[in-house]
């Protein structure tokens, strides 16, 4: 799923170089209730999940990098599991919400990841993916540098991501754009 060595190396400094708050589009799209079980797939240091913690809310950060998860474990209220999005150690139809923020392009087998995440998402649950939009020059530069660093990232155009999700017959798919980012919100 991820280039673990890159992220193991980045883990101690990740939140010093990658900053920013949880986007309002993500918060609004999630429509979280107190009893929702949330999976942050590719959640790394838990930076995004920490911003979603609320009363009685259970958030699981799943990431293949143990070093990133060590950073997440330091954040109060987060549960962590070391796994790949292609093989989740969870029962079918478990999560009310699954979020992937700025991580989908690092997943090496994106179709298999969506298939597996769809499996663990409850009926009527939401899968929300926030990604840098490769149509913008600024994101193309980031993609170039990730290629130079041998990260093997694969940035999809939003239409490509929607096509992968549509293979699982979602009830509804919505898409949002802001600046250099897009969000795809799919209802199972």
Contact 128, 184 (CB under 8 A): yes
The CATH number for 4-187, chosen from 3.40.190.10, 3.40.50.150, 3.20.20.70, 3.30.413.10, is: 3.40.50.150
Q: Which of 120, 114, 129, 124 is nearest to 89 (CA)?
A: 120
Q: Which of 157, 159, 186, 183 is nearest to 171 (CA)?
A: 186
- Tally the C-alpha atoms within 13 A of residue 161's C-alpha that lie toward its C-beta: 27
DSSP character at residue 57? -
Show pLDDT as tens, one digit a residue, over the chain (188 residues): 444 576 555 555 555 566 667 889 999 999 988 889 999 999 998 988 988 876 556 899 999 988 889 889 888 789 999 999 999 999 999 999 999 999 999 998 999 999 999 999 999 999 999 999 999 999 999 889 888 777 788 999 999 999 999 999 999 999 999 999 999 999 99
Residue 112: count other Cβ atoms within 10 Å of its Cβ. 15
CA 111 to chain centre: 14
Q: Which of 89, 95, 107, 80 is nearest to 164 (CA)?
A: 107
Q: Where are the domains of the chain?
A: 4-187
**Exposed (0-12), middle (13-18) or buried (19+): which is 47, by Cβ within 10 Å?**
buried
End-to-end CA distance of the chain: 23
């Amino acid at each position: 799923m991820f280039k673990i060595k890159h992220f193991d190396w980045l883990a101690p400094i990740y939140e010093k170089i990658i900053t920013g708050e949880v986007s309002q589009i993500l918060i609004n799209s999630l429509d979280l209730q107190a009893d929702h079980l949330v999976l942050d797939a590719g959640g790394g240091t838990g930076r995004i999940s920490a911003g979603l913690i609320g009363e009685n809310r259970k958030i699981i950060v799943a990431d293949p990098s143990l070093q990133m998860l060590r950073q997440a474990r330091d954040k109060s209220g987060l549960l962590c599991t070391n796994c790949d999005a292609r093989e989740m150690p969870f029962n079918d139809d478990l999560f009310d919400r699954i979020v992937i923020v700025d991580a989908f392009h690092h997943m090496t087998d994106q179709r298999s990841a969506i298939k597996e995440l769809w499996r663990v998402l409850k009926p009527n649950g939401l899968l929300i993916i926030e990604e840098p939009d490769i149509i913008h020059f600024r994101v193309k530069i980031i993609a170039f540098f990730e290629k130079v660093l041998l990260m093997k990232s694969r940035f999809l155009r939003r239409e490509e991501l929607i096509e992968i999700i549509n293979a699982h017959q979602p009830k509804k798919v919505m898409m949002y754009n802001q600046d250099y980012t897009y969000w795809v919100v799919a209802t199972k």
